[in-house]
Amino acid sequence: MAKELRIGNDAVARGLYEGGVRVVSSYPGTPSTEITEFISTYDDVYSEWAPNEKVAAEVALGAAIAGARAFCGMKHVGLNVASEPVFTGSYTGVNAGWVIAVADDPGMHSSQNEQDSRHYAKAAKVMMLEPSDSAECLEFAKKGFELSEQFDCPVILRLTTRVAHSRSLVEIGDRNDIGVKEYVKNPQKYVMMPAMARGRHVVVEQRLLDQAEWAESCELNRVEMNDTKIGVITSGVCYQYAKEALGKNASYLKLGCVYPMPIDIIRDFAAKCDKVYVLEELDPFIEEHCKANGIDVIGKEAFTVQGEYSQSLIAKVILGKETEAISTDLEIPGRPPVLCAGCPHRGLFYALKKQNVTVSGDIGCYTLGALAPLGMIDTCICMGASVSALHGRNKANPENEKKSVAVIGDSTFIHSGVTGLIDIAYNASNSTVIILDNSITGMTGHQQNPTTGKTIKGDPATAVNLEALAKAVGIDRVRVVDPYNLKETEAAIKEELAVEEPSVIISRRPCTLLKYVKHEKPLKVNADKCRGCKACMKIGCPAISFRDKKAVIDFTQCIGCGVCEQLCAFGAIEKGE
C-alpha cells in the first residue's frame, strides 16, 4: 500500500480509528488538538468537544467501562485537570480499551509551563507509550487498545510538539471494530469506596509488576547494536535526533514504553557499551530509573531540563562537533504574536486601558493583550484562574474591587471559569468579570464549544446562554457590550466597577477569522488630514504602520472594524471605496 505523509496527530487519529475506537471526548489544547479534529472526520466514530479535560476523561472512561473502546486527548496541562478520573481509573481499570493522549510542549511553543507528563504515568500507575514519528503514532495508538484490555488499565500515549506536529510517512490499514463488549455489574471493580479500593490497589501493584516484566521483551522496546563506544538510551523524538547526530557510530536502546520501564534489557545494553547517554527532553525520568538501579549513565549533567533537544545539541555534547553559521550584523527586532487585525478583543483592552485597572487574566488569544502596546494583563496562571484569582484579590483588600477586573474567553469560562463565578456570587465579592465572547475557541485554532451552538462536526447544538448562566449562579448585574464600540464598552466598565455588587460584562463579537463573519472594506488614512499623532497606533493593530511621518493602513490585513477610526481626532481615517 502506498505511504501517506501525515502529521503525527492525524496518524494518532488513524491508529485510534483502526484500533476500533468508538467514543471520543476531548478538550482542545496545542499541540494535541488535531487528533480529535481528525477523528471527527470519521463518521463511524462518536466524537465531541467536552467542556474541559476532566469531563472528557470521565466520558471516555464511562464509555470504556460500558464496553466501547474510548479515547480522550489533551495537552500536558490538560492532564492536570483530567488527573482525577485518571488516577482512580487506574484502580477501576477498563472493560473495553481506554487510550489517553497527552501532548507535552518542550520549549513551550504554545504553553504556560514545561511540565513532563511522564510523572503522571508513574504517579497514577498507568502504562505510558511514547512514539517517535507518525508511523509509530499510528501503531502505538492502535496497540494502546490491545494493551489497555490485556492489562485492564488505561494507557497513556505521550506525544511532544515535534511528534504531534511533524509529518512523516505512514501506512494505512483496516479498522478492527470489536463492537461493544458486554458490561457486567462489578461493584468490587467499579465502585471505588474504601473497602473496594483497597482490594483494587493490590490489583494495581500486581499489574505494574506484570507490565514491567512484559516491558522486558515487548517489541515496543528495541535495541540497535552498532559501534559500542557510545550507547544511547532514548525515546520519542530524541531517538530521531540521536540517529541523525550519531548514526552508526552509536548503539541504541529505544524505549517505546516509558512506563513501566524494563530493567534487565537496560542493564544488558549498558554493559555492552563503553559510555551510555540517556537522551530525553525535560526531566531525568529514564535517567533516574537507570541510576536508581545502579546503572552508570550520563544524562542531565551533560544536557538540560529546559527546552528541546536537537541533533546539533547532541552532536555538540557527545561529539564536540559544531556547525558553522553565517549571519548579518543587523539588529533584528523580535516578532511576537499579536491579536489579528480587527480582533474583537482589542477594543475591550483599549477600554480597560483607559480605566487604568488591574486585570486578572486568563488563557486564550486575549492573553496577547498582555503585550505592548496594550499591556493590560496583570496575571495569567491557568484556565479559569482569572475569575477565582480576582475574587481572592478582592478579598485580600476590598479596595481592589473598584479597580480590578477579570477577563476570560467563552471557552475558558465554560472550562473552569464558571466555578469561580459561583464563588464570587456565593462568597460575595464585588467583582467585575468580563467574558470575552468571540463565539469560538480561538487560540487553539477555532474549535466549537458549548457556547457556540455547534457540535464538533458543525451540526446544530444547544448553546449555553451566558447571560442566563451568570444570572442563575446569582449575579444580578449582567450586561452585553460590543467591543467595536469603544464608548459603550468604556461606559459599561466604569459603571460596573462603581456599583456595590458583583457584575458580569459580556463583550460579544465573533472572532474575525470565522468564515461566517463578513468583513467591511478596509479603511484608509487620508494623508492630508493625518497629523502623525500616532493615536491610532495605541491599539496595536498589525494593519497599521507608520511611514514618512504618517499612519498607513495595509489593505491586505485591515478588515474595516472601525476601532482605529474612533481614536483619530482629525477624521483622517476614512472608509475605503
Ligand X SMILES: Cc1ncc(C[n+]2csc(CCOP(=O)(O)OP(=O)(O)O)c2C)c(N)n1
Q: For residue 328, what is the DSSP state? A: -
The minimum distance between CB 163 and another protein, in angstroms, equals 8
Of 10-18, 165-173, 256-264, 499-507: span binding another protein (CB under 8 A): 165-173
Choice from 239, 241, 349, 366 touching ligand X (CB under 6 A):
366
Which positions from 324 through 343 interact with ligand SF4, judged by CB under 6 A?
A: 339-343
96 with 64: CB under 8 angstroms?
yes
Choice from 184, 325, 396, 569 touching another protein (CB under 8 A):
325
Q: Is 55 in the site for ligand X (CB under 6 A)?
A: no
Report the C-alpha gap between 258 and 262 in whole angstroms: 9
Residues facing residue 406 across a β-bridge:
360, 433
For another protein, the closer CB: 291 or 534: 534
The minimum distance between CB 571 and ligand SF4, in angstroms, equals 14
Give buried/exposed letters for 325-359 (b at 16+ CB in 10 A, else e).
eeeeeeeeeeeeebbbbbbbbbbbbbbbbeeebbb
Q: For residue 339, what is the DSSP state? A: P
Q: Is 4 in the site for another protein (CB under 8 A)?
A: yes
Of 142-150, 232-240, 404-412, 525-533: span binding ligand X (CB under 6 A): 404-412
Interface with ligand X: number of residues (CB under 6 A)? 23
Burial class (CB in 10 A: 0-12, 13-18, 19+), 376: buried
Our measurement of the distance from residue 539's CA atom to the centroid of its chain's CA atoms, rounded to an integer in Å, reads: 28
For residue 142, give Cα distances in angstroms to 139, 163, 283, 414, 426. Answer: 5, 16, 27, 32, 47
Binding mask 395-434 toward ligand SF4 (x if CB under 6 A, else -) reads: ----------------------------------------
Q: Is 348 in the site for ligand SF4 (CB under 6 A)?
A: no
Burial class (CB in 10 A: 0-12, 13-18, 19+), 167: middle
Q: Is 241 in the site for another protein (CB under 8 A)?
A: yes
State the amino acid at position 1 in one-letter form: M
- For cell 497514577, what's the residue? 124
For another protein, the closer CB: 376 or 466: 376
Cell of 99: 487510550
**Phi, psi torsion values for 175, nearest 5 degrees:** -85, 135
The minimum distance between CB 345 and ligand SF4, in angstroms, equals 5
Cell of 2: 502506498
Show Cβ contacts of residue 41 under 8 Å, excluding neighbours closer than 6 positions.
none
For ligand X, the closer CB: 261 or 387: 387
How many C-beta atoms surround the C-beta of residue 378 within 10 A?
A: 14
**3-class secondary structure, 424:** helix
Q: Is 77 in the site for ligand X (CB under 6 A)?
A: yes
Which positions from 533 through 562 interact with another protein, judged by CB under 8 A?
A: 534, 537, 540, 542, 544-546, 556
Which partner, another protein, ligand SF4, ligand X, none, binds residue 81 by CB below 5 to 8 Å per kind? ligand X
Query: Rule CB under 6 A: which residues touch ligand X?
Result: 27-29, 75, 77-78, 81, 363-366, 383, 409-412, 436, 438, 440-444
Residues found near another protein in the complex (CB under 8 A):
3-5, 7, 30-31, 33-34, 109-110, 133, 161-162, 165-169, 237, 240-241, 243-245, 310-312, 323-340, 365, 368, 371-373, 443-445, 534, 537, 540, 542, 544-546, 556
**Residues in touch with ligand SF4 (CB under 6 A):** 339-343, 345, 365, 438, 442, 511-513, 523, 541, 543-544, 553, 558-564
